[in-house]
Amino acid sequence: MARLVAMQPRQASPWASSSSPLLPSSLSEFSGAALSISLQKRRRTWQPKGALQVNASSSKKILIMGGTRFIGVFLSRLLVKEGHQVTLFTRGKAPITQQLPGESDQDYEGFKSKILHLKGDRKDFEFVKTSLAAEGFDVIYDINGREAVEVEPILDALPKLEQFIYCSSAGVYLKSDLLPHFEIDAVDPKSRHKGKLETESLLDSRGVNWTSIRPVYIYGPLNYNPVEEWFFHRLKAGRPIPIPNSGVQITQLGHVKDLARAFATVLCNSKAIKQVYNISGSKYVTFDGLARACAKAAGFPEPEIVHYNPKEFDFGKKKAFPFRDQHFFASIEKAQRELGWAPEFGLVEGLADSYNLDFGRGTFRKPADFTTDDMILGKSLVLQS
């Protein structure tokens, strides 16, 4: 797969000079085939606690809660390619399948013909319980669950459930001056993501074979959270990028395709039972650096960055910047060491993948809204004059 060379060119020699030019090259496409073969190689014989001994390489009946918007779009393809029977549980508001940019007609038809849909509202707990009990799934991927109460009917419906794989969040970690966050670190029971924590606790208390994945910021094509999109809108409009405070705050982005691979890797993996894994990119980046990385990835000139003090403004309900204004990053070494998973996308490569398959083709989820930018820039102009 041809890739954009990463922002820090990695050379064979550890002491290579920095004078090598970085040339954009054609971009990777998400190829499920090669990945599924390597995933199968990593399958271990797995014996779920108290349940029937299952041949780990057999096809599983999998239900994904969600699966039509972002992570699930990529994950479901991986699982179908691996030969599992995959059902998506959604209300049907978004199309069940959509052909991805760069996806061949053949691949898409193959996927579309195999994926199944269970239409329902997961908040209708009675329906969840009866419909899941009627179907009897081996494995649940809960990609869109927020509250523990949403998971109870699923567990009630499936007493023989082999594995419950949960998309949690690194947002559960207690803020700290000592970083990165490791899986053993303190969590914050008062955080915005406490529903995720409560879900993890519930899973543990119910004795289910659970695996919890904690991503940091996810990015990639089809992202419905305006992470990279926020920068791309401004770069395209030739606008300065307003970044709060010093701009040296450090964050971490993880490509959705790498995340999907991590989710697929923990399936029927005995090592992953009752384990939590941070999943994100290999390196972290400053806010200012991320603005530059987005520009580089999309082929825009280096942006003008304007720093401001958010306390001097009242943005009302609008969000002036897509990241929490603090250092926020997590170590992925546990997943690398225990699962043999590693991210394939470097930051600039990954942003380029997102740009070339999404924003750069004219698609985005949220239209540009520069209201808060203008408030910030207006004030800084006044100060300068």
Partner 1 sequence: MAAAVTSAAPALPSLHSSSCSLPPLTHRSLSFVAFTSPTITKLSSHRSSRHFSSGPSTSVLSIRAAAAAADKKRVLVINTNSGGHAVIGFYFAQQLLGSGHEVTVLTVGDESSDKMKKPPFTRFSELVSAGGKTVWGNPSQVGDIVGTAKFDVVLDNNGKDLDTVKPVADWAKSAGVEQFLYISSAGIYKPFDEIPHVEGDLVKDDASHVLVEKYMAGLSFSSWAVFRPQYMIGSGNNKDCEEWFFDRIVRDRPVPIPGSGMQLTNISHVRDLSSMLSLAVENSKAANGKIFNCVSDRAVTFDGLAKLCAQAAGRELKIIHYEPKAVGIDAKKAFPFRNMHFYAEPRAAKEIMGWSSTTNLPEDMKERFDEYVKIGRDKKPMQFDIDDKILESLKIAVTV
Torsion angles phi and psi, residue 363, rounded to 5:
-105, 145
Residues 29-48 that bind partner 1 (CB under 8 A): none
Residues 144-183 that bind partner 1 (CB under 8 A): 174-180, 182-183
Nearer residue to partner 1 within complex by CB, 91 or 175: 175
Would you count residue 383 as binding partner 1 (CB under 8 A)? no
Contact residues for 254 (Cβ-Cβ < 8 A; gap 6+)? 215, 216, 217, 218, 219, 279, 280, 281, 343
Would you count residue 274 as binding partner 1 (CB under 8 A)? yes
Would you count residue 385 as binding partner 1 (CB under 8 A)? no
Would you count residue 7 as binding partner 1 (CB under 8 A)? yes
Window of 71-79, 135-143, 195-203, 370-378 that interacts with partner 1 by CB under 8 A: 195-203
Q: Which of 31, 130, 131, 245 binds partner 1 (CB under 8 A)?
A: 245
Contact residues for 32 (Cβ-Cβ < 8 A; gap 6+)? 77, 78, 80, 81, 107
Nearer residue to partner 1 within complex by CB, 17 or 384: 17
Strand partners, 251: 285
Rounded to whole angstroms, the Cα distance separating 195 from 326 reads 22
Q: Are 200 and 212 in contact (CB under 8 A)?
A: yes
Would you count residue 246 as binding partner 1 (CB under 8 A)? yes
Would you count residue 8 as binding partner 1 (CB under 8 A)? yes
Q: Which amino acid does the sequence have at 242?
A: P
Would you count residue 334 as binding partner 1 (CB under 8 A)? yes
Strand partners, 63: 87, 140
* Through-space distance between the first and last CA atoms of the chain, rounded to whole angstroms: 51
Would you count residue 351 as binding partner 1 (CB under 8 A)? no
| Kind plus residue range of the DSSP H or E element containing 116 | strand 116-119
Would you count residue 270 as binding partner 1 (CB under 8 A)? no
Query: Distance of CA 43 to CAs 36, 79, 131, 141, 163, Å?
Result: 11, 13, 30, 17, 14
Burial 135-151 (b: 16+ CB within 10 A, else e): eebbbbbbbbbbebebb
Would you count residue 340 as binding partner 1 (CB under 8 A)? no
Q: How far is the CB of 54 from partner 1 (least distance, A)?
A: 21
Applying CB under 8 A, the site for partner 1 has a residue count of 57
Q: Which of 15, 41, 316, 383 binds partner 1 (CB under 8 A)?
A: 15
Residues forming the site for partner 1 (CB under 8 A): 7-11, 14-18, 174-180, 182-190, 197-198, 200-201, 204, 212, 245-246, 248-250, 274-276, 282-286, 288-290, 292-293, 327, 331, 333-334, 337-338, 347
